[in-house]
Amino acid sequence: MRLLLVEDEKHVADFIARGLRAEWYAVDVAYDGNKGWELASKVDYDLVVLDLNLPGLNGMEFLRRLRGRGAKVPVLVLTVLDATDDKVESLQAGADDHLTKPFAFSELLARIKALLRRPAVVPANVLRIADLEVDRLKHQVHRAGRRIDLTAKEYALLEYLAAHPGQTVSRTMIIEHVWDQSFEGLTNIVDVYVRHLRAKIDDPFEHKLIRTVRGGGYCLSDEPGP
């Protein structure tokens, strides 16, 4: 899951980003509206956390442009105390939820998880492909009833593949959703992580689930490969 955070108060932004990364989300941070818009225009984010009072492009205008473009990405708006008009206006402009500053990180996290659980974003809390189970709430993976320990990135990669069962996902799509902008272009990073993942979820089992699609990318599927 890759999130965009647009927040100009640097200490708040860095605090949120650190917390979210510790929860295994990939997070891009923009400290002003224009930079945020630039990122939102080129990356297909899974969720946006948007402060309303921003230098450059303000949050409300950001939101209107995003919805005007038809983007369905969930947006959680951050407002200041007593800004009731902002809440109403942002909901009308297409925000999915809002949170008043100051807030506890645990509340922000709970709201983000709730938005990401919506059916349009996430098909189910537990993804099942053959005897593989990916629990998106607990970040736990089981295969044939056996618990499999993954690192944060291995989990994020598997979750992305499992959310697109039977579909070929390209290396570019994987990088976009699993890594954030702090990632520095090792082009074979996806292949390296797929190898790690295979060692844990496929190698010990007869029935292999991760397929390499020549010239395409990877596919997690119950069907035998070509």
Binding site for Ca ion (CB under 5 A): 8, 51, 53
Among residues 176, 177, 174, 168, the alpha carbon closest in space to that of 212 is found at 168
Q: Residue 147 CB: number of other CB atoms within 10 A?
A: 9
How far apart are CB 98 and Ca ion at their closest, in Å?
14
Q: Which is nearer to Ca ion, 8 or 159 (CB)?
A: 8
Q: Which is nearer to Ca ion, 95 or 141 (CB)?
A: 95
How far apart are CB 13 and Ca ion at their closest, in Å?
9
Q: Is the peptide bond before 204 cis (omega within 30 degrees of 0)?
A: no
The amino acid present at 87, given as its one-letter code, is K
Q: d(Cα 136, Cα 113) in Å, to the nearest integer?
A: 10
Rama region for 134: left / alpha / beta (φ>0; ψ in -120 to 50; rest): beta
Q: d(Cα 54, Cα 30) in Å, to the nearest integer?
A: 10
How far apart are CB 63 and Ca ion at their closest, in Å?
14
List the strands of the sheet with 126-129, edge to edge.
126-129, 132-135, 140-143, 146-148
Q: Which is nearer to Ca ion, 53 or 140 (CB)?
A: 53
How far apart are CB 66 and Ca ion at their closest, in Å?
18
Q: Which is nearer to Ca ion, 59 or 217 (CB)?
A: 59
Looking at beta carbons, which residue is closest to Ca ion? 53
How far apart are CB 46 and Ca ion at their closest, in Å?
23
Calculate the alpha carbon distances from 122 to 87, 105, 114, 167, 208 in Å. Answer: 25, 22, 10, 16, 24
How far apart are CB 12 and Ca ion at their closest, in Å?
8
